[in-house]
Amino acid sequence: MNANWRAQLGRIYAAPDVGNQLARYRRALERFAALYGAGPVSVYRVPGRINLIGEHTDYQQGYVLPAALDKDILFLARRREDALVRVHNLEENAFPPREFAIAADIPPYPTGDWGNYAKGPAQLLARRAAAPLHGVDLLIAGEPPYGVPRGAGVSSSSALTVGAGLVLSELNGLGYTAAELAWLSGEAEWYVGTRGGIMDQFIAMLAQKDHALFLDCRSRGQGENGLPQFQTELVPLPQGYNLIVADTHVRHQNVRSDFNVRVAEGRIGVALLQRRYPELRYLRDLEGKDWREVEPLLPEAMTWADLDRAGIRLNELIDVRFPESAAPFRVRQRCRHIVTENQRVRQSVAALKAGDVTRFGALMNQAHASVSVDYGASCDELEIMVALARQVSGVLGARMTGAGWGGCVISLARRGCESAFIDHVRPGYHDATGIWPDIFVCQAGQGAGLVESDVVA
């Protein structure tokens, strides 16, 4: 590895990390050669992500503002002349080798098997391809401390799917754009059974260092190849600040059922509002309307009997069977969160463009209050973590990020206060909960792509 490597990695990683990253890449190349033999290798990387603001808006076709992390997963790949895909991981004890042939129908591994994250995009791309695809020899490297943290809500699983799709597309010359690959990677997650919104894949593919990405989750129509198109905009982040992610290590039970109830409450709100606004399809369609006029149209709560009287059949709005205990449905406050959160995303973009980092921090704090009180997606541990983070001098804003009911807190902090943050938050959280949190300091990183082609392993 020569000076060109150091320069290339310097465009991706912070200067103090380049030496350690060089050693990391070197270890991966040596392992690839040991597994698959010497010869040319293409090296790709895919980052994790954090959502700065815009929580629970995507499934109402709203706005989000994520950033990529400077922690990533490496994908070292060599094209094969047959359709075989061989996958190894540097952490083979946790992720055993996998092998399969690319086809339009690839039988999945058992649910939860890590190999399905490669099978999903392989099957999807094979179905869309005009000719049979070449397989690959693949090595994946996502080990700590430079890999995407697993189980922390920063999209390590989506990074695997994006990376597998990127490698197969590039080495087969399929010609997809970054945005098209983002969409296809999201669709490929149906194979795994974890399909969410589109944010994780779009920020992974389109991110730029030191920037957030504004994403409008409503499609603007189809492109020439029939894939949906979305509005995105890079938004510069202020210099001199870090993103500090604190993992509560709490994953409350019934998160999926709580999430489904929130989805239902939003759809009930839309059904009620359509009687006044027939053109409305999603809550994002309320943009530009005065919430003071909208709010009286939405009841604070609705029982099952209220739904019947209103002629609303919940099973027609969402394909989930709810228990009687799901009611009352808190329609007004859930809708209020989504409407005001969309406004906060827009206001955050304006604040960041103006360099008003104090305003952005305040909007983060407001977003947490909204998702906690109006959306009811927080928990005691998240509230403790947020309160501790805000006590640290240099923290401008802190809020829960992700689906909620556990998971992570994201803080915007002046560079230089990281030690004080860790020294205060880590023991304070342990004293209050008995749990030691994981805390990692990040900067907004570069999106996925090719690092170097035809490297000799």
The predicted structure's pLDDT at residue 279 = 96
Point out the domain boundary residue: 333, 355, 377: 355
Active site includes 285? no
Q: Does one domain contain both 195 and 268? A: no
Structure tokens at 228: 């949906």
* Residue 65 resides in a domain: yes
Residues 54 and 113 in one domain: yes
Q: Is residue 51 part of a domain?
A: yes
Give residue 319's pLDDT: 83
Q: Is residue 59 part of a domain?
A: yes
| CATH code assigned at 346 | 1.20.1440.340
Q: What is the per-residue pLDDT for 196?
A: 66
Residue 231 shares a structural domain with residue 262: no
Domain hosting 276: range is 254-355
| 106 plus 216 within the same structural domain | yes
> Which residues in the chain come in under a pLDDT of 50?
none
The reply to whether 407 falls in a domain is: no
Same domain flag for 41 and 168: yes
CA distances from 87 to 36, 55, 77, 109, 146 (A): 10, 34, 9, 14, 20
Give pLDDT, residue 234: 98
Distance CA 64, CA 54 (A): 4
Place of tokens 């399809």: 281
pTM of the shown model: 0.93
382 falls within a domain: no
Q: Please tell me the predicted confidence (pLDDT) of residue 450.
A: 96
84/223 same-domain check: yes
pLDDT at 403: 84
Which pLDDT does position 30 carry in this prediction?
Answer: 96
How many separate domains does the chain show?
2
Picking from 313, 329, 355, the residue at the C-terminal end of a domain is: 355
- Give alpha helix (H) positions in 219-374: 255-273, 291-294, 304-309, 314-317, 331-353, 357-369
Q: Give yes or no: residues 181 and 314 share one domain.
A: no
Check residue 300 and give its pLDDT.
97
Q: Note the pLDDT of residue 215.
A: 98
Distance (Å, rounded) from C-alpha 128 to C-alpha 121? 11
Residue 342 lies in a domain: yes
Q: Scanning the structure block, which residue is given the tokens 């969409």?
A: 183
- Rounded CA-CA distance 289/291 in Å is 6
Place of tokens 């090595």: 139
The CATH number assigned to the domain holding 16 equals 3.30.230.10
Q: Are residues 103 and 208 in the same domain?
A: yes
Q: Are residues 332 and 264 in the same domain?
A: yes
Residue 377 lies in a domain: no
> At 64, is the secondary structure helix, strand, or coil?
strand
pLDDT in the model for residue 276: 96
What are the structure tokens assigned to 369, written together?
């209050």
Indicate whether 138 and 174 sit together in one domain: yes
DSSP letter for 149, please.
P
Phi, psi of 307 (to 5 degrees): -60, -45
Do 108 and 207 sit in the same domain of this protein? yes
Given the residues 58, 70, 72, 200, the one annotated as active site: 200
